[in-house]
Structure 1
């Protein structure tokens, strides 16, 4: 049986982390694939640690592995920790903010299982799945960053900034990733694009976006950092 390692960075999600863990728990995978859940608490200042501990105690049958940063280092740093501890054949990134639906893991796995793909991106801009209507300028920004990324990597991805990226674990662990915050997305995209004969696919996914009042954390500074990362790692 193969295993899907699900890496979940969390920061101040104490009130809702159990909800995303429930969704991950209930998600359906092909019969020959099991789940390994890797939670990285990135120095949360709320009761995230206690909430995760309580969930793990109540769900002892799940393969949950918990790691903690003493102070907040950023999403990228949390992902570095989680990726380093992944032991499944495949790894997928899962934000804790309920914007993405774990029931769609099987969609991302299918091109890999069928032998076509090494990496699969979930695109919020492809397919006919449900999308919450939110910020016009965020959409323009995401498409602009994807355009710049494609220009430097010669890929034709439609959603470079998507959280849902599924990788062959050994391949992902072989990359020397440096970005500590939201620069992870353009950096990992640039670096996988340079792997000889890499096979990258996209599938359409749903998107249930949050407002800033609901806890969204990315901001305009992260957009400028993304541009820097695109040119730094793309060329």
Structure 2
């Protein structure tokens, strides 16, 4: 087929596309202005229709107040605020955001600057070209990498991902990553089918996607450790990960 014709067809199909970027936040007052500035920069450059939905879970550091200032700066059509009173879990934060999303595509990413928005246009391009159900960012293939972690953190992440690959054979190289693009109906179905919380939730999403025969593509990303704030990963999350991994192995 003619590559130029394919490109025109993809562009024509994309005219009605809108991307809802979900940003769950908790104590991200320093990071939020920069991540939103970067998202706006790269999405505007890509020339796509989008909205950023900030789901703050009762941050005591003033994250919501900062989000309100950013909404004033960028406009209510670009910055949508859907806060909650307290931390209720990542999965429920996504469901809360989806209820208010007006886009037919949903992008999930962290607000702590570990996911650079410059990779979003690459995800969009791959999805459009292959009509994929999911495009996931990978740190462990296609030129991806991890920066800013010490040896222990890298070892934990690599080991966790390696064991998951052996036990679950998910068809994706990075199970625990959370930088992904979904068709909205696909994400809604996956979230309803998942029972995990915390870091295991992201892994289960890909495993369930394989069960439903959804198509998955990957884009290599550079993952950078947060500069401001504290990581939410602790020993309890590691225990939950192992428990969740064994559960998925036994039930899928």
TM norm structure 1? 0.88
Aligned counterpart, 1:127: 142
Aligned counterpart, 1:42: 57
Deviates more, 1:57-66 or 1:157-166: 57-66
Kindly state the Cα deviation for residue 57 of structure 1 after the two structures are TM-superposed: 1.0
Q: Which runs of 4+ in 1 moved over 4 A?
A: none
| Residues 187 and 159 of structure 1, relative CA distance in 2, 3 Å threshold | same
Aligned counterpart, 2:248: 233
SS of the residue corresponding to residue 68 of structure 1 reads: coil
**d(CA) in 2 for partners of 1:207 and 1:167?**
20
**d(CA) in 2 for partners of 1:136 and 1:86?**
39
Q: Within 5 Å, give how 1:72-221 maps onto structure 2.
A: 72-128=87-143, 131-175=146-190, 176=192, 177-196=194-213, 198-210=214-226, 214-221=229-236
**d(CA) in 2 for partners of 1:231 and 1:117?**
29
SS of the residue corresponding to residue 142 of structure 1 reads: helix
Q: Answer whether contact 1:145 1:160 (CA < 8 A) is retained.
A: no
SS of the residue corresponding to residue 210 of structure 1 reads: coil
| Residues 121 and 66 of structure 1, relative CA distance in 2, 3 Å threshold | same
Listed as ranges, the gaps of 5+ residues in structure 1 are none
Deviates more, 1:69-78 or 1:165-174: 69-78
> What is the aligned residue count?
232
Q: Answer whether contact 1:143 1:159 (CA < 8 A) is retained.
A: no
Kindly state the Cα deviation for residue 59 of structure 1 after the two structures are TM-superposed: 1.3
Higher helix share: 2
Listed as ranges, the gaps of 5+ residues in structure 2 are 1-15
* Per-residue deviation, residues 36-81 of structure 1 (Å, max 9, x unmatched): 2111001211211111111101111642221112112233332232
